[in-house]
Amino acid sequence: MKEVRRDLAERTFAFGVQVVTLCRTLDRREPTNRILASQLLRSGTSVGANVEEAQASQSRADFLSKYSIACKEARETHYWLRLMSATGVMSAAGVGTLLDECNQLIAILTTIVKKVRSNKE
């Protein structure tokens, strides 16, 4: 299980890198873009940060908390990506790969949280 978690940490790190890269492409002089990029940057990089923190969790509850937050941040990131696409800030093709990876991360994180919760009871 530890190897799976390490792979997930690397995957969420790579996702964060992609989010940063995307945010750098936006014209931040445009107020809407600046706000959307800020929101996306915050939530998109938080996914990996929380997974990384979970690697050093002090208890099962701490582990569950960090992974739950990572999942919530991934869902928020998904929202911002969809909003950017729907409003034309980014093209559907421009966010398509990130949306796909975000969906996969949400599924993985949700599964981990559910499994830890079920083992707790």
Looking at the domain that runs over 2-120, which CATH code has it been given? 1.20.1440.60
Whole-angstrom Cα distance, residue 120 to residue 89? 43
Pull the structure tokens for residue 103: 């969906």
77-116 per-position pLDDT tens digit: 999 999 999 999 999 998 999 999 999 999 999 999 999 9
Listed residue (64, 67, 62, 72) closest to 50, CA to CA: 67
Cα 30 → chain centroid:
24
Three-state DSSP at 121 gives coil
pLDDT at residue 28 in the model: 82
88 Ramachandran zone, left/alpha/beta (phi>0; psi -120 to 50): left
pLDDT at residue 2 in the model: 56
The domain locations on the chain are 2-120
pTM: 0.91
pLDDT at residue 104 in the model: 97
Task: Answer yes or no: is pLDDT of 74 > 80.
Answer: yes
